[in-house]
Amino acid sequence: MASPALKSGETLEDRCGLVTQVTNRKYPKLKEVDDVLGGAAAWENVDSTAESCPKCEHPRAYFMQLQTRSADEPMTTFYKCCNAQCGHRWRD
């Protein structure tokens, strides 16, 4: 009497409609962000929020909060545009 168990896990596709295809393109001005975050792979499992992209005005962006310096300093919020064609990254 075993019934097949279907797992319904939320994926990035559900959240943003597109899966960002990670490329090797690097934007020099974002090197600092990449250094902090450990590269594009760090964005694969993060949540998205209603933050509009300053570049393409897409209404949603992935976000991460990190301690960039010492524990005494406030968290820095990093964003990445949910538009796979844009992929713009910025920080607070």
Instruction: Tell me how far apart the alpha carbons of residues 5 and 25 are, in angstroms, rounded to a whole number.
Output: 40
CA atoms within 13 A on the CB side of 9: 5
Among 39, 55, 59, 74, the residue binding Zn ion under the rule CB under 5 A is 55
Structure token pair of residue 73: 């300093």
Instruction: Tell me how far apart the alpha carbons of residues 51 and 34 are, in angstroms, rounded to a whole number.
Output: 20
Among 37, 79, 81, 89, the residue binding Zn ion under the rule CB under 5 A is 81
Does 86 interact with Zn ion (rule: CB under 5 A)?
yes
Structure token pair of residue 37: 């975050």
Does 33 interact with Zn ion (rule: CB under 5 A)?
no
Please, which residues have CB within 8 angstroms of residue 75's CB and are 6 or more apart in sequence? 65, 66, 67
CB of 29 to Zn ion, least distance (A): 15
- From 5-13, 18-26, 38-46, 57-65, give the range in contact with Zn ion by CB under 5 A: 57-65
Size of the site for Zn ion (CB under 5 A): 8
CB of 87 to Zn ion, least distance (A): 7
Q: Which residue has the tokens 């250094």?
A: 35
Residues that bind Zn ion (CB under 5 A): 53, 55-56, 58, 81, 83, 86, 88
